[in-house]
Amino acid sequence: MLFNSIDFGIFLPIVFLLYWAMSKKVKAQNVFLLVASYFFYGWWDWRYLSLVLLCSVTNYVAGVLMMRVNEDSDDAQKRRRLILTVCCLVSFGVLGVFKYYDFFVTSFVDAFSMLGIHLQATTLHLILPVGISFYTFHTLSYTIDVYRRKFEPTKDIVSFFLFVSIFPLAMAGPIERATNLLPQIYKRRTFDYALAVDGMRQILWGLFKKIVIADNCATIANEIFNNSATYSGSTLLLGAIFFTFQIYGDFSGYSDMALGIGKLLGFRFLRNFNFPYFSRDIAEFWRRWHISLNTWFRDYLYIPLGGSRGSKWQIVRNTFIIFLVSGFWHGANWTFIAWGAYHAILFLPVILLGKNRKHTDTVAEGRILPTLKEVCQMAVTFGLVVFGWILFRAENITHAWEYISGIFSTSLFAIPNISPDANGTYGVAISLSFIAIMLIIEWLNRQKQHGLRIDNTNLSVLKWGIYFALIIIIWAFGGQQEKFIYFQF
C-alpha cells in the first residue's frame, strides 16, 4: 500500500478515527495499531509477514534472555554475547538470503569465468521483501542497545511488535531507535491538535515532493538513463540532475509523510532529512541525508571500530568500511559499492584534516541570502553529489562508466534534446519550475523541521494560499505514479 494511493487515502482516515476512539485505553490502541500495521504490510504480500514476525520474535526473545543473565560476571557476559551473536546471525541471515544470495553467487561465478573456469550455480530469484533492510536494522538497534545496557528490555510483546512494524515506518523508515519510540508506545497518547495540524502540513509537503517533483523527474531521468547511448553529454548531465531531485523528492517525501502520519497518531519519529542539498561540504551532506541510517552506522559500526580516534590508517580504514557497507546496504550491485567508495574518497580529506564538523550550523543562518562563498560551496558539493548519483542509478559499472564518459565529451556543450516520450522541452520546463518552487520554499524554511513549517500566525492567509496551491498543483501536474525508490532496499 503506497502513501500516495487511493487505498491508503481510505485506510488512513479509518485508522485515525478508530485509533483515537480508543484514546483512554493505551493497550487497546497498541493492539489496534499493531493489527492495522500488519494489514498495511500484508496488503503488499501477506506471506512476507512471516519475516516480520520472525524478526520480531527473535529480537524480543533475545532481549528477554539477556535480561535473565544481567549479572556482571564474565560467564554472564559471555552468555549475553552469545545471545546477541545468534540474534544477529538470524537477522542478517534472513536479510542475506533474500537480498544478497543471488549477488554473491553470480559474482562468484563471474570471477571464475574471468579466469577461464566456467561454473554452474543456482540462483534463487527471490522477490525482495519490502522494507526488510529497514525493520532488520530497526530491531537490531534495540537488541544491541539492550546488550550494551543502554535500554531495559521490554516484556510487553505487543508494544515491541508494534515498535518493529508500526505502519508509517514499515516500508522505508526512518530507522527508529527503541530509546525514542518504545517510551512513546508505552504511555497514554492524547490527541494534540497542533501536532496533528503540523502532521497534515508535513504529509502535504511530502506528497508534493513525491508526486510532483519525484514522479515528474522520474519520467525524464528514466528516459535518459535507459537510452543514454543516444543522448548528448549535456542531456546526460541533465538526466543526472533530474535523478538527483527524483531520489530526494522520492525518499525525503516518503520520510515527510511518515513523520506526518506519526504526528497524526501522537508520535514523534526521528527526523530523516535536513535539507541536504544546501550542504557546504560532503560531511555536512551526510549529516543531513538519510540521517537515521547514517547515525545507525555511526553508532553501531564506525564508533565501535574506533571512529576517528585512531591512527591515520585506522581513520582511512574505518571511513571506507562505513561507506562501503552503506553502499552495500542499498543493494546487491557493484554500482552501490562503487557509490559508497566514491563518497569515502570525497569524505577522506575532510575527516583527515579535521574539518568534518566545520559546518554544523545552518547555511546563511539569520540571513535570507547566502554569501558568494556559501553559494560556491553548495554548488561544488551539489555537483559532487550529482556524479555520485550516476553510480547509484546506473544498471551496472559499465553503464555508469559510459554515462559519465558521455557527459565529458564535446557534446556537453550542445543544446539538450529530450525525447517526446519524456514530454520533451515542456516536461523539462515544468519539472524545473517545480524544483525551483521546492528549493525556494525549503530555503526559506531551512531552519525548520520541514518545508511547510510556517509558525507565524500573521501569515495565515499566505499559509492557506500555499496549501491550496500545492493541492491544485498535485492534482493538475502530478507525474505518472512510481513506486518509492527505497522500497527496493
Tell me the C-alpha distance between 404 and 415, whole Å.
Answer: 18
Position 418, amino acid: I
Tell me the C-alpha distance between 12 and 288, whole Å.
Answer: 29
Active site residues: 330
For 156: left if phi > 0, alpha if psi spans -120 to 50, otherwise beta; the answer is: beta
Element at 302 (helix H, strand E): none
The DSSP line for 400-456 is HHHHHHHHTSGGGGSPP---GGGTHHHHHHHHHHHHHHHHHHHHHTTTSSSTT----
The number of beta carbons lying within 10 Å of the beta carbon of residue 125 is: 7
What are phi and psi for residue 333, nearest 5 degrees?
-155, 140
DSSP, res 396: S
The DSSP line for 82-139 is HHHHHHHHHHHHHHHHHHTHHHHHHHHHHHHHHTT---------PPPPTTHHHHHHHH
Helix, strand or coil, per DSSP, at residue 15: helix
- On whether the CB atoms of residues 37 and 167 are closer than 8 A, the answer is yes
Nearest to 234, CA basis, from 417, 460, 41: 417
CA 139 to chain centre: 16
Tell me the C-alpha distance between 241 and 474, whole Å.
Answer: 22
Tell me the C-alpha distance between 461 and 295, whole Å.
Answer: 39
- On whether the CB atoms of residues 95 and 489 are closer than 8 A, the answer is no
